[in-house]
Structures are given as structure tokens and as C-alpha cells.
Structure 1
Amino acid sequence: LVQPLSIEQTEVFQYPTLLKGVPHELNLKRLRGHEAFYGPAGSGAPDDLEMFERNQVGLSAEVDPWLLIARGLHRQRREPDGTIVGHMTDEVTQRGIWRHWKKLMTHAAGAAMQPRRASGSA
């Protein structure tokens, strides 16, 4: 969960999911996988969050007001359902995060946005 707090501060929460009605060992394996990928020494979130922090520092330098996140822009396409798709190494996700961040920061002069779907629904 990415929760913008202000123009210069965002909180990121990550929650492991466990399955009902499956063997305990399966949920334990899922939990260990979550820890390995998203934990402090993981291969997933720590480096992404580091890049978000470095972007914030760079943007506060006032040298260039823009953040270049164009990798893969030439390959990006929009599916009929509106989903934006690119190669796994492209910056589609980063562009989406910033697009949504702008929407959150400018929505109805700060009025709370409603979640896209209820928690726990598919």
C-alpha cells in the first residue's frame, strides 16, 4: 500500500497474504518468500524504495525539475481494457505510480479518494 502523506513524504506498507484452508507449510513457504523478497535484505522492494528515495533527493536539487522515466516508452501499449503493458524491464510501473500519485495529490483539493475495490475482494 502506497500512502502519500505530503508532496515530500510517502509511506509504503507491505502485507503478506496467507491462504485459508491450505496446509500450514504452504502458508509458511509464502510468508518466507514474502520476507525474502520484500524484507530489508530482499531482492524486491528494498532496491525499489531506495530508488524512490534517490528520486526524491534528486528532485529537490532544483537543477532539473523533471524525472526521466522513459525506458520502454516506445514499446508501451494500452490493452482494450485500459491496462498499460510493456516489457518487464521497462518503467511502465514507475510511470503508473507517478500518474496515480499526481491524481491523489490533486484530487478534489485534497478530498480522500475511495479505494478502487474493497479490501479482500477480487
Structure 2
Amino acid sequence: MQTDALKTLAIDALEDLKAKDIALLDVSHLTSVTDLMVIASGTSTRHVSALANSVVQKAKEADLQPLGVEGGSDSDWVLVDLGDVVVHVMLPETRQLYDLERLWADLPSDTERSEGEASGR
């Protein structure tokens, strides 16, 4: 499945269950692990779990088996790995604590790291 289709699938699944503050991070220039990260907040651990399960269910309906799901029913953070798109669903407090948006924005790209290593920095 194309990255744009995965992104749409994930966002639609989150919006269906009223996820809060959905953000999209293009990390394709920062890592080879994934292209996009979708970050969303839930209002309770039950809501976080339901949001993540919605993403998994929509993926399966599209004949896509998620590569992995980390976190459980009483978690304040659940990660759904769809390959080119990784979905993070968190409680607002957890999201604020880990601040993935800032963390990924501050990282040097793979190219910048390679250039730094080549020049001995």
C-alpha cells in the first residue's frame, strides 16, 4: 500500500473515534525506518486503546497486517507500526512529556549525520 493511502487510512481511523490533536511528521529525510509518523491524543487510556485498535482494524480491512503494536489496553501510549507509517496514540500528558514533534524536528537528517562522520565531526 502506498504511503499516502496508509496515511489516509490511519488518519481516518483516528478521526472516526474523535482523536485529539492529530499531527503528521514527515521523517523520511531523518530515518530509513519509516516515512511518516502520525501522532494523536486520546482522552483516557481506554480511548487511547480504542484509537489504536481502530487503526489496526482499518488496516486489516484493507488487507494490511500491521508489523507490530506496542502498548496495551491500559497504556498511556500505543504505537501501531504500519511500515511506511507509524502511528503513536498517547494521553496528552505523555505526549507532552516525550514531545515527539520537537524531538524529531531537532534530529539531524541521515545525510547530515553521514557528512558529519565523513568530516570527523
Please indicate, yes or no, whether the TM-score normalized by the shorter chain is above 0.5. no
Q: Point out the structure with max Rg over C-alpha.
A: 1
- Higher relative contact order, structure no. (Cα contacts within 8 Å, ≥ 6 residues apart): 2
TM-score of the aligned structures, taking structure 1 as reference length? 0.22
Higher strand residue share? 2
- The structure in which a higher percent of residues are helix is 2
